[in-house]
Amino acid sequence: MAKGTIKEKIRAGLHDESARVGRDRALGVIKPAMKKMTASYPDLRSRLTAVKKYSIDHLQQLLPQTVKVLRDRGWQVLVADTPQEALDYIGKIVGKGLVVKSKTNAGKEINVPHYLEDQGAKVVETDLGDRINQLDGGVPSHSLAPAIHVPIERVAELFSKEVGEKLEPELEALVTAARKSLRKYLEQADVGISGANAVIAETGAIIVTENEGNIRAVTSIPRIHIAIAGVEKIVPKLLDGIAVVKAAAAYGVGQDIGTYVSVISGPSRFENDDFAFLGAAQGPQELHMVFLKPGREKAIADDYKETLYCINCGSCLNFCPVYSAIGEKYGYKYLGGRGTVFTAMHASLEKAEEAGLSLCIGCKRCEEACAVEMQTPGMIARLRATAVSEKGLPWARKTMFEMLAANKLPRYARLAEPLQGIATKASGEGTAKPRMSLFDGLPTDRLVPLLAPEHFSDLVKKRKPATVARKGHKVGFFAGCLVNFFRPDLGGSLLDVLEREGVEVNTFPDEACCGIPALTSGDESDARKMAAVNVEMLSQQTLDQLIFLCPTCASTAKREWPRLLSQDSRLAQAANTLAAKVMDISEYLVKVVKISPPQGKVNCKVTYHDPCHLVRDLKIKDEPRQLINSIPGIEMVEMKEPDSCCGFGGSFSLFYYDLSRKINDDKVKQIMETGADYVVTGCPGCMVHLADGISHENGRQKPMHVIELLAKAYNQDGGENQ
């Protein structure tokens, strides 16, 4: 049922073109602004992470301290153990009155507006984005910019109807109309409801930040103010709260700090009669603080406390390729990958699956963009493993992983190779398209690689011994499934280059899959078996380094094999030893071999795509570019976002091809804008997906691996292996 729900959400998100246009416009401004602003505050991220970690680790002490200080300051405080307890408390205060409400993610979490409206109250959203959604009957699509999906033309229609006059789609006119519309509600409201960016344990105050001024009005004009926040918003000191609001602005929208920052420390100290001449905005006479505990205790108990570090800045959404493609369809109340994790905590694992637990592509752009260094993809992987342990996998997928764990892929690949012409029609250079749509992931217009007639192990057997003197370097080359069975020529290029440099290369015809397909599906049991096969085999060799052409395989060997085998007394140490030797080929050539530049010219224009695992997990960015730029005749042109995901994600592109193709479309557009002849990358999987995307656009760019381009250059100067 969850899978069907996900497919429907993806289709709805992909087909909502107007929302897509709105997101593209906004994110096109926000992302570069964020990168520029955060570069100006290099220590802010580590400072805030330390604050949030301390606060969550000491929440049992900070919560009662905060409650006491707030009450001493004149606040009325509820610590709600259930959503209903919070709703009943708020509902009793509001009754059937008029409520003006600013943005509050915690309020959205427990459905405050709907609850109050059902009991007869009138709730008016005052945040411009939330007000647009309220008038449009829509739902929020971003943490900080809830109407990011609504084009300005539609906004003009909504406010024209609201104010009773024709408005042009111009920002200043629409903002003026919104303020005019909201003022009467602010002046007449009985209650104002807000969230809190931070709650200060030491001083008994809340901090709120904004750009519109509506929160300041909501929290100061009505007689009663209710603030709603999860207990994770508590921080020890005022300066800690300032760090929160500064990061929310810098990481969320690329500002130095929000236009308005308000510190609310207690009810108004003025008597209305004495200061009646001042009119409104003397401050509320009655303050209520509602803390939410549901889901937070579970997150801490189940070791997902990291999700509570979140400050809801939305930076992860700004850079997430899945969110960019389908918007608010990815998540439930809280959006994106982090929202999915929190859904598992405050709702259920089943709800998290419906929210998109399987949709994280693992690119880790959210980690890179996060204001608190939250490792969301890792938490998602653990939740997937929990789901599989409870429910199992579909039989076809489980059968495939068992086959990989038993290392039967070489046998089946040899059987399938002569038969693939029945199911596919060749498209040239080792690629084909399915003759019929086999399933959602293999439509008839998808360009796929063909199984090679000879595996990499066959190629190795046929090679003549290297004729150059060895220099004492001895490495192992882990080819990976794509090189082994689809692109053995890439392995040949690696051997050409390394043997030219006098490096002794060991290859392993019995290597198993690295295990990443099983891991991303939550099948840790079979992934552990694959890791064991590989570690057992590789640890029998004496190697200086273990070299990879596929950064996903390299990342798995470096990060996952030691974790998967940590309880195996026999293999744990071997896995850690191997992990320390893992190197991508470009890093090895630049840092260890210190390879000399080729003499042969390769006259062409190239652009470079950073594979996600290579640039964010292995931290390899400059080395491939150094190798490319060392080749005479090469003109290197950077694309707009070289490190944005291509959408492949291995099995992700099989299970969710329409979504992966949409992500790929964005990448291909950037590639084609460069006018390059080749798109060079460091990942065989990215090459497969980029070739498919380029074919849909009838592009001329050919994907090429760095090692392939380098071998071509050395062959030009007569350095090829004979």
Per-residue confidence band for 420, with pLDDT thresholds at 50, 70 and 90: confident
Q: Are 44 and 252 in contact (CB under 8 A)?
A: no
Q: pLDDT tens digits for 76-132? A: 999 999 999 999 999 999 999 999 999 999 999 999 999 999 999 999 999 988 888
Q: Does residue 179 have a pLDDT over 60?
A: yes
Phi-psi bin for 226: left (phi > 0), alpha (psi -120 to 50), beta?
beta
| Long-range own/partner contacts, residues 115-122 (CB < 8 A, 24 or more apart) | 115/87, 115/90, 115/91, 116/90, 116/91, 119/91, 119/94, 119/95, 120/95, 120/96, 121/94, 121/95, 121/96, 121/97, 122/97, 122/98
Q: 605 — phi, psi (to 5°)? A: -100, 130
- Say whether 632 sits in a helix, a strand or coil: coil
pLDDT for residue 272 is more than 80: no
Residues 690 and 696: their CA atoms lie apart, in Å, by 10
High-pLDDT (> 90) share of the chain, %: 74
Q: Measuring CA to CA, how many Å separate 108 from each of 139, 141, 186, 292?
A: 10, 12, 20, 12
Q: Estimate to the nearest angstrom the gap between the alpha carbon of 337 and the chain centroid.
A: 6
Task: Look at residue 720 and tell me whether its pLDDT is greater than 60.
Answer: no
Contact 354, 331 (CB under 8 A): no
- In the prediction, which pLDDT does 554 show? 98
Structure tokens at 304: 């997902």
Asked whether the predicted pLDDT for residue 380 surpasses 90, the reply is: yes
pLDDT band (50, 70, 90) for residue 278: low
Predicted local distance difference test score (pLDDT) of residue 375: 95
Integer Cα distance of 320 and 368 in angstroms: 10
Range of weakest confidence among 83-92, 496-505, 692-701, 711-720: 711-720
Helix axes 488-500, 706-716, angle to 10 degrees: 50
Q: The tokens 């795509």 sit on which residue?
A: 609
Per-position DSSP letters for 202-260, written without gaps between them: TTTEEEEEESSSHHHHHTTSSSEEEEEEEGGGEESSHHHHHHHHHHHHHHHHS-SS-SE
pLDDT band of residue 565 (cuts 50, 70, 90) is very high
Q: How confident is the model at residue 469 (pLDDT cuts 50, 70, 90)?
A: low
DSSP state letter for 471 = -
Residue 280 has pLDDT above 50, yes or no: no
Question: What is the rounded end-to-end Cα distance, in angstroms, of the chain?
Answer: 57
pLDDT in tens, 636-665: 999 999 999 999 998 899 999 999 999 999
In the predicted model, what is the mean pLDDT of residues 584-591? 97
β-pairing, 702-705 with 678-681? parallel
As a whole number of angstroms, the distance between CA 466 and CA 297 comes to 62
Q: Could you give the CA distance from residue 647 to residue 660 in angstroms, rounded to a whole number?
A: 5
The pLDDT-based confidence of 191 (bands split at 50, 70, 90) is very high
Residue pair 608/681 in contact by the 8 Å Cβ criterion: yes
Pairing of strands 448-449, 431-434: antiparallel
Q: Please give the structure tokens belonging to residue 701.
A: 């760019």
Say what the pTM is.
0.92
What is the chain's alpha carbon radius of gyration, rounded to the nearest angstrom? Answer: 29
Decide: residue 50, CB within 10 A, 0-12 exposed, 13-18 middle, 19+ buried.
Answer: middle
Average pLDDT of the chain?
A: 91
Q: Is the pLDDT of residue 2 over 60?
A: no
pLDDT-derived band at 582, boundaries 50, 70, 90: very high
**CB contact burial 188-210 (16+ within 10 A = b; e otherwise):** ebbbbbbbbbbbbbbbbbbbbbb
Place 273 in a pLDDT band, splitting at 50, 70 and 90.
low
Q: Are 70 and 273 in contact (CB under 8 A)?
A: no
Neighbours of 629 (CB within 10 A): 13
And the tokens for 713?
């250059």
Q: Is 343 helix (H, G, I), strand (E, B) or coil?
A: helix
pLDDT digits (tens, 9 = 90+) for 346-361: 999 999 999 999 999 9
How far is residue 189 CA from its own chain's centroid? Answer: 40
Residues 6+ apart with CB under 8 A from 144: 248, 252, 253, 312, 313, 314
Q: Is the pLDDT of residue 598 over 70?
A: yes
Percentage of residues of the chain with pLDDT beyond 70: 96
In the numeric block, which tokens belong to residue 293? 């505990």
Q: What share of the chain is helix, strand, coil (3-state, %, to 5)?
A: 55, 15, 35
Which domains does the chain carry? 37-297 (3.40.50.10420), 604-716 (3.40.50.1860)
Going across the sheet that includes 191-194, the strands are 76-80, 286-292, 224-230, 191-194, 98-101, 122-125
Q: Is 76 exposed, middle or buried (0-12, 13-18, 19+ CB in 10 A)?
A: middle
